[in-house]
Amino acid sequence: MPKDTKSSNAISHWINAHEVALQRFIRSKTPDPAQVEDILQDVWTKLLEHPAPESIRHLRNWLFTVARNLMLDRRRKQKALCFSQLAPEVATNLDLYFNAWASAELPSDVLESQEFWDALQAELARLPPAQREVFVQHELEAIPMKELSLRSGIPINTLLSRKRYAVLHLRKRFEQLKRK
C-alpha cells in the first residue's frame, strides 16, 4: 500500500475515533454552533498539515490542545467594541435620545405645551451638572459627541454614559405623560 493511502487510512481512523469527544469539548467551550464546526475542521486541517502525524505520541491530547489553542486564538481576534461604537444600536432602544423617545411616546400636544418645557427645565435642574451639561449640549444644542469630547477632554464613552443616565432619568419622570 502506498504511504499516502496508509496515512489517509490512519487519519480517517483517528477522525472516527476522536471526532465525537473533540466536538463535545469544543461545543462546551464555544456558544456558536457554526464556530464549533469551523474549529473542528481547523483541528483536522492542522492534523493533515502536520509533517509526521504518526509521530504524535499522545494524539488525543494533541488534538484537544490544538482545539483549545484555536478557540483561544478566535477569542483574541474578536475585538471588544466600545460603547461609542454601539451608540447607533443603542439609539434604536431610545436609551441615548430623549427627543426620539419623547416623539415616539408622548402626544404631540403635550410636547408642544409650555408645561412640558417648564417640566423639562425643572428636571434638567435636578440632574447632576455633568449629566445636564452633556444632555443639553448634545440633545438640545445638537453638538456631536466627538466635538464635545474634543472640547472637554472627556472620553466619548464617559460622555455617552452621562447622557444615557440623564435620558433614563428624564424618561422615568415623563412616563406618566405617555400615550394611553
CATH number at residue 68: 1.10.1740
Q: At 145, which amino acid appears?
A: M
Q: Which residue has the cell 464556530?
A: 35
Same domain for 173 and 87: yes
Same domain for 73 and 9: yes
pTM above 0.85, yes or no: no
Mean pLDDT of 60-67: 86
Reported as a single tens digit per residue, the pLDDT across 137-176 is 988 888 888 999 999 999 999 999 999 999 888 888 888 7
Same domain for 46 and 20: yes
Domain endpoint, select from 35, 61, 77: 77
The whole-angstrom separation of Cα 95 and Cα 87 is 9
22 is written with which cell numbers?
473533540
Q: Which residue has the cell 434638567?
A: 124
Count of other CB atoms within 10 angstroms of residue 55: 7
Domain range holding 88?
83-177
Same domain for 72 and 92: no
Same domain for 95 and 173: yes
Enumerate residues 6+ apart whose C-beta is below 8 A from 54. Answer: 7, 10
* Residue among 68, 3, 83 nearest 30 (CA): 68
Same domain for 171 and 98: yes
Same domain for 126 and 42: no
> Sign (positive/negative) of CA torsion 151, 124, 89, 161?
positive
82 has pLDDT over 60:
no
Q: How many domains is the chain partitioned into structurally?
A: 2
Domain endpoint, select from 60, 77, 94: 77
Same domain for 71 and 100: no
Same domain for 59 and 117: no
Q: Which residue has the cell 417648564?
A: 118
pLDDT at residue number 3: 47
State the chain's mean pLDDT as an integer. Answer: 79
Same domain for 157 and 125: yes
Same domain for 156 and 114: yes
pLDDT at residue number 6: 55
pLDDT at residue number 149: 92
